[in-house]
Structure 1
């Protein structure tokens, strides 16, 4: 919990980043569901619900008679994580832990804002991009901006309309998608001429380094053997370099994916000396060239495949502009699947809509038995809240006539900003304060 309090600006609720803060944010949200929406029976049903993520939570809530949406709960939960105060509204705090006490090692979001990430705009007008301070957040990452001691204010938000990875050329590309234990391919049958051939394609990938993989498989109809292909012009790396695309010929962490058939696991290829794969980050679209001459005169099935373990996941892999010049084959994906068979990959423009939201809360520090002194200002009582109306077309909005909060009043305004989108890609936003 303490890690999430400190590193909340970099921690998404819906993306597992394998840090202590990810454990903290997950625990807090499940605890919140437990306290506010049905206790142990609901959590048990959630574990048994077949759908994952947001869909699974909303399905479970509906089965228990709740009409609350995930976004509505997320909004209340972000306020609860800051205030942890149930005096005005039970939704805005916890009953079974006290943020700011030993339960969170004394840390709170308010304390983190004052001592780590505070962007206190005591002079206006002021404006800034989120990337200047916290980087570009993933969806369902809550950013908090505190301010006070100002005359009546206006705050405005303008977020990126979309996020994603556009096609290398044209409009469309193949995308693997990403999911725990996913094993996905798209493939097509080719006859390789006697003189050999070369497979060329462009790819962009962001793959969990040394845990997940993207690769090209070949099934040789003439021999009944399976292979993965190497790009001889791309370096083979011992450790993937985030600044240089490379291919690996080892499996760092051997695991069996329950969805992968025997003989086609990465470890099977490695044992046969036939393992070549992408992992890590390509940095941008890169051109890949692979020699098909070993299959000269043969009929082959050519697969683009991704393999994932059961935990952390990144975007995985995109493919565009596939060609085998020697047989006159070129596919820029503009015609859709067009002869390919897919088992999970799909054709997309690579662009996802964003859904920015912002809530302004005003709180008052009041000494309590738990917090008699103002050093950390944990004891905050909600005085009011205002929800920004964000235009879905422009992803922009504003809140006007924010009341003055003189310094001696012990009142503070906090703007909570997040992107409520069902993807895992980062996006930026601009926020400003004016009189």
Structure 2
């Protein structure tokens, strides 16, 4: 290992210690990009350690961090999960670790840096991790914990670049645990367990319980299904999100829904053995709704979340009745007209397209009109409308009333839709430059690898000069790749589980049967005699939506036991 001397070549060739260059850095608080100058201060076998020229870090501290990285963090993670991209976009096998003051994050992995600048204008064109130099001291446990977390992201990008954020973040938290550092956010989740596991918020300040949820779920998954050494199979699984976990679990004869239900119980019960507990940690949900008397309430909650009711009722027998909504919306609106509309779908690192031919021959001018509703991660994800007049070889992105050319972090490929429309808005785009030609028209939705929201919805598409009006009630002449023609309604699924605690200290778990309309009941016999208390766990289980599930719950005295 070498420190700053200005004369020693990096190990195995490459950059010299003392090399100075500019870097793009993202401000994650206000979604902007700026440039700093940094100098290569330490070179280790597998990494370059740069420091912002406006920051002073000691050689000793950096070498301590590099020593732990090379001796423990990197080899353990590579053995279990795989390696980063090598030699990478820059042709150099080393990872770059840049130390610079960051806002709103202790560190981050820059996936945009994996691309040449011709594709992403703010790419640093290398495999790269950013570490906050204002709060973290190299070599400390806090620093090394963040470094391990971000290294997993770099590995995951190479193994499966399109993975959903909730899995990626959960794996990063699990990976740092496995190399000796604590997962910070579990308590945030245990205090707020009714957050959607497979959703990641766009508000950084709201992310702590989501980190905790994904962290704890991955720890549970590793413990009960294959061990940490098998988690590399999940990282390499090319299917993303729940589908990827489902395929991983298929090797163990388990389904995602069943594992999720067991996990929800384990987070309250934490039994000494079996599926309802953890062998290596003490876990206890801290947010429950106490019920001391008869109850009737209507409420809603996110999908793939858990809500706990602690029933501590007066002596006697009771009947629990549940009625959940039979359906749930896919997005937070209704179609503009009729029963159907086109939807981009949702997910991280997706590129959804909806394409059709237009014959504009014989026209001297043309206009595209359509109605749209969208909820898109502002400044990071975009939707576009584009036209090709060369058979799809090249595409020209169209400008509209609601598009923007602003490009704060380099993710906007032209003039795109981003942020929240707030309502259905009518869009109009000039097609006159293509009049007289046969062209292809395309709607497209592109997301990055972190947050995604409800997406982009289109309805009532028209080219008046062509006499074309498409109300999106049928597929018609469109070719969809990622887009879906939806009625904005999915079947809602629920699971209800009872954790029954006996007066003798025993516990048992049973599921409440629900019919096809999500209606069911359970008799709770012997409070104050056989039963001390019962914890009801409610879990909505509908995939493909971020919309909440509604239900009505009642508990009344009576029943024959």
Q: Partner of 1:384 in structure 2? A: 508
TM-score (norm 2): 0.59
Equivalent residue for 1:68, pick from 233, 254, 260: 254
Q: How do residues 3-18 of structure 1 correspond to structure 2 at under 5 angstroms?
A: 3-9=188-194, 11-17=195-201
**Could you tell me whether the CA contact under 8 Å between 1:71 and 1:420 is conserved in 2?**
yes
Once the two structures are TM-superposed, the CA of residue 94 in structure 1 deviates from its matched residue by: 1.1
Higher relative contact order (CA 8 A, sep 6+): 1
Q: Structure 1: how far apart are the matches of 2:536 and 2:353? A: 44
Are the aligned partners of 1:206 and 1:282 in contact in 2 as well (CA < 8 Å)? Answer: yes
Q: Helix, strand or coil for the counterpart of 1:22?
A: helix
RMSD: 2.7
Aligned with residue 328 of structure 1, among 442, 467, 477: 467
Picking from 493, 497, 505, the partner of 1:359 is 497
Q: 1:111-150, aligned counterparts within 5 Å? A: 111-113=286-288, 119-124=289-294, 126-131=295-300, 136-137=301-302, 139-150=303-314
**CA gap 1:301/1:419 in 2 versus in 1, 3 angstroms:** same
The within-5 A match list for 1:177-256 is 177-192=345-360, 194-220=363-389, 226-232=395-401, 234=402, 247-255=403-411
Q: Take 2:246 and 2:395, find their aligned partners in 1: how far apart are those partners?
A: 42
Q: Deviation digits for residues 293-352 of structure 1, max 9, x if unmatched?
A: 44444544221110110122222112111111121001112231x222333223232321
1:153-183 alpha-carbon deviations (Å, 9 max, x no partner): 2122211211124433233222211232211
Q: Point out the structure with max Rg over C-alpha.
A: 2
Describe the shift of the 1:80–1:325 C-alpha distance in structure 2 as closer, same or farther (beyond 3 A).
same
Report the Cα distance in structure 1 between the residues aligned to 2:528 and 2:399, rounded to whole angstroms.
63
Aligned residues: 361
Contact 1:182 1:309 in 2 (8 A): yes
Task: State the distance in 2 between where 1:327 and 1:287 align.
Answer: 19
Asked if 2 retains the 8 angstrom alpha-carbon contact of 1:210 and 1:251, the reply is yes
Q: Which runs of 5+ in 2 are unaligned?
A: 1-185
Whether the 8 Å contact between 2:291 and 2:313 is mirrored in structure 1 is no
Q: TM-score, normalised by structure 1?
A: 0.75
Whole-angstrom distance in 2 between the partners of 1:351 and 1:80: 31
Answer yes or no: is the 8 Å Cα contact 1:362–1:412 preserved in 2. Answer: yes
The answer for the alignment partner of 1:280 in structure 2 is 419
Query: 1:360: Cα distance to partner?
Result: 1.2
Within 5 Å, give how 1:50-65 maps onto structure 2. 50-63=238-251
CA shift for structure 1 position 417: 0.6
- Taking the aligned partners of 2:230 and 2:526, their CA distance within structure 1 comes to 40
Q: 2:351, 2:447 within 8 Å by CA — same for their partners in 1?
A: yes
CA gap 1:383/1:48 in 2 versus in 1, 3 angstroms: same
Structure 1's unaligned 5+ residue stretches are: 100-107, 114-118, 235-246, 256-265, 270-274, 367-380
Aligned 8 A contact 2:325 2:492 in 1: yes
Check the 8 A contact 2:379/2:418 in 1, yes or no: yes
Counterpart CA distance in 2 for 1:403 and 1:230 is 68
Question: Counterpart in 2 of 1:413?
Answer: 534
